[in-house]
Amino acid sequence: MSSHPALKAGAGAPPPRHVAVIMDGNRRWAQARGLPVALGHRAGADAARRTIEAAMKAGVSWLTLFAFSSENWGRPADEVQELTTLLRHYLRAEVAQLSREGVRLRVIGDRARFGEDTLKAIDAAEERTAGGARLNLTVALSYGARAEILSAARAAAVAAARGELDPEKLDEAAFASRLFTAGMPDPDLIIRTSGEQRLSNFLLWQAAYAELVFLPGLWPDFGATDFQAALTDYAARERRFGARIG
């Protein structure tokens, strides 16, 4: 759980410690151009690279990208195949550069649904970048927040049944330690592209006090200017965390 920074960001304030992004609009971007959906996802991967670079330049310490939801498994089989193939290619092609740039990669979500080749690529990328200290990059794959919360609740229930946990002493910190994001700070800012204004089952527990910025552009068009605009919006807000100020 993240500690609360100064309640009023204001001009000259440091950047948010943790930015999370719902990368939405790849399909619509491709369809608007008469292109195969696969090309929209590839353009989206390029936008992810630009966002990583923008986050490092801005001094953001944690960046989480919502790349593939648990609901995405219900998409057409050829699109799912393209997404998983693109994921493996990205991990293998980018891991050396991420390591050189000091980026530590971590994947959260239900890995069991991926094939062996994808799992090996994820494991290898995490191991190769484990020493990165400049940016903590988390990619949410096969991720759904409700399933994450349910899994944490089950883990707590099992611990209680075994006598390892007193239910009366289960607090927010102990519960959060059972989430996929254990050890990570909560997001300060969540950005969503494509004009949609919802969280879509993303970081529901962790987003309790996150600032939300919704941008109209589609994800493949997202770049450093858009990222900085979201940070500027964030800096102008007064963060109260439920407290009454003034």
Query: What local confidence, expressed as pLDDT, does residue 243 receive?
Result: 62
The CA distance from 128 to 103, in Å, is: 10
The CA distance from 78 to 76, in Å, is: 6
Query: What local confidence, expressed as pLDDT, does residue 79 receive?
Result: 87
Q: How far apart, in Å, are the Cα atoms of 146 and each of 69, 142, 200, 211, 239?
A: 11, 12, 10, 20, 26
C-alpha 238 chain-centroid distance: 23
- What phi and psi values does residue 186 have, to the nearest 5 degrees? -65, 150
Tokens 């195969």 belong to residue: 36
The count of residues in the chain is 246
The CA distance from 192 to 43, in Å, is: 17
Catalytic residue ranges: 24, 72
Residue ranges of domains in the chain, CATH in brackets: 18-235 (3.40.1180.10)
**Residues pairing with 103 in the sheet:** 135
Tokens 């369809």 belong to residue: 31
Buried b (16+ CB within 10 A) or exposed e, 24-39: bbbbbbbeeeeeebbe
- Compute how many other C-beta atoms are within 10 angstroms of the C-beta atom of residue 130: 11
- pTM for the whole thing? 0.91
The CA distance from 98 to 21, in Å, is: 19
Query: What local confidence, expressed as pLDDT, does residue 107 receive?
Result: 96
Annotated binding site for Mg(2+): 24, 211
Question: Residue 90 belongs to what H/E stretch?
Answer: helix 77-100
Query: What local confidence, expressed as pLDDT, does residue 205 receive?
Result: 98
Query: What local confidence, expressed as pLDDT, does residue 242 receive?
Result: 65
On whether the CB atoms of residues 146 and 206 are closer than 8 A, the answer is no
On whether the CB atoms of residues 181 and 203 are closer than 8 A, the answer is yes
* pLDDT tens, residue order, the chain (246 aa): 333 444 454 556 789 999 999 999 999 999 999 999 999 999 999 999 999 999 999 999 999 999 989 988 888 888 888 888 888 888 888 999 999 999 999 999 999 889 999 999 999 999 999 999 999 999 999 999 999 999 999 999 999 999 999 999 999 999 999 999 999 999 999 999 999 999 999 999 999 999 999 999 999 999 999 999 999 999 999 877 666 555
Kindly state the tokens that stand for 39: 């090309």
3-state secondary structure of 69: strand
